[in-house]
Amino acid sequence: MHFNQRNMSEKALDAGVYPSVTVNKIRDYLSLTKPRLLASVLFSAVLGFVLPQDSVITVLPLLYLLLGTALTGGGAHVLNQWMEQIPDSKMNRTKNRPLPMGRLSGNEALSFGIVISIAGITTLWLALNPLTAVIGALTLFSYILVYTPLKQRTVANTWFGAITGALPPVMGWTAARGQLDWEVLPIFALLYFWQLPHFFAIAWMYREDYRRGGFRMLSLFDETGRKTGVQMLLNAAILFIASLAIYMIGQGSMFYLLSAIFLGLGFLAAITLFFRESSVDNARKVFLASIIYLPVLSTVLILERLFY
């Protein structure tokens, strides 16, 4: 009888423990996909999807785009963390991730990343078109085979990584149109040149962390912040031109133009503060300005397509 009671107690304990372990595992797997960063990727893909459409937005292709992009982008983020387990364990901002903490094994992360990446590209190919799948694959492989290795080799990694980050709206465009057109260039440029001051700000805020991780960022070779400030200003100026180009080719209304000017000048003002005094506080202001600039401007474009 005592034996049976002990077995029943163990089963009750197991019933209470295993569900929580399963939930925690799922949570860790999801965290490997970097949900917040993935949300911005999906948002930019939606932007690329709605821009070339002058009529009613088709919902089903949009849903397939979101699914395929989420799986492909999530897979890229998982594989990136699998490749950077050691550097992540040395950095304060990443040391508590599932892989450095040992909550998931490297093999679990690798398998998960490969499976959802293949599922994402397959979805884009079968549900949309081969061109979108090819660009999705290019986004994936440029992230894990070019950007990720370059982070520990050259400061140029930021410029290469920005190419990867600017491809999701191109995927959206080809999902909607089935072809590449020159009119996609301004939105590609907008995403590309936005990322540079955004990431330069992050690299300045966490420069010591990046040093511990062994990443070669511009901020580590710029004691005064002058080089970083110049790069921020230069790329923000080109960003401003790219935002105006969207209006000039007829993809935005007068309200969009006013929004682009207002937001662009605000972004440049924040960067000017950093250029004058390269402090962590001013870098944070640039970062905050960047995460206001792109979502607001993109939302204006999307709402104009949906309701104007």
**pLDDT per position as a tens digit, 266-282:** 999 999 999 999 999 99
Q: Identify the sign of the CA torsion 124, 125, 128, 133.
A: positive
Q: Tell me, what's the pLDDT at 21? A: 56
> Where does the pLDDT of residue 18 fall: very low under 50, low under 70, confident under 90, or very high at 90 and above?
very low
**Which candidate, 288, 296, 297, 294, places its Cα nearest to that of 269?**
288
Q: Which residues contact 34 (CB under 8 A, 6 or more apart)?
A: 74, 77
Helices of type H across the chain? 2-32, 35-50, 59-83, 85-90, 98-101, 106-123, 130-141, 148-150, 157-165, 168-177, 185-205, 207-213, 226-248, 254-276, 280-307
Q: Per the structure block, which two tokens stand in for 68? A: 């395929």
Give me the mean pLDDT over the 14-19 stretch: 42
* Max Cα-Cα span within the chain: 84
Q: Per the structure block, which two tokens stand in for 294? A: 């792109």
pLDDT at 19 over 80: no
> Where does the pLDDT of residue 55 fall: very low under 50, low under 70, confident under 90, or very high at 90 and above?
low
Q: Tell me, what's the pLDDT at 307? A: 79
Q: Tell me, what's the pLDDT at 9? A: 40
Rounded to two decimals, the pTM is 0.90
8 A C-beta contact, residue 144 and residue 65: no
What is the distance between the alpha carbons of residues 131 and 270, in angstroms, rounded to a whole number? 39
> Where does the pLDDT of residue 53 fall: very low under 50, low under 70, confident under 90, or very high at 90 and above?
confident
Q: Tell me, what's the pLDDT at 305? A: 83
Average pLDDT across the chain, whole number: 91
Q: Interior CA angle at 172 toward 168 and 177, to 5°?
A: 145
pLDDT at 118 over 50: yes
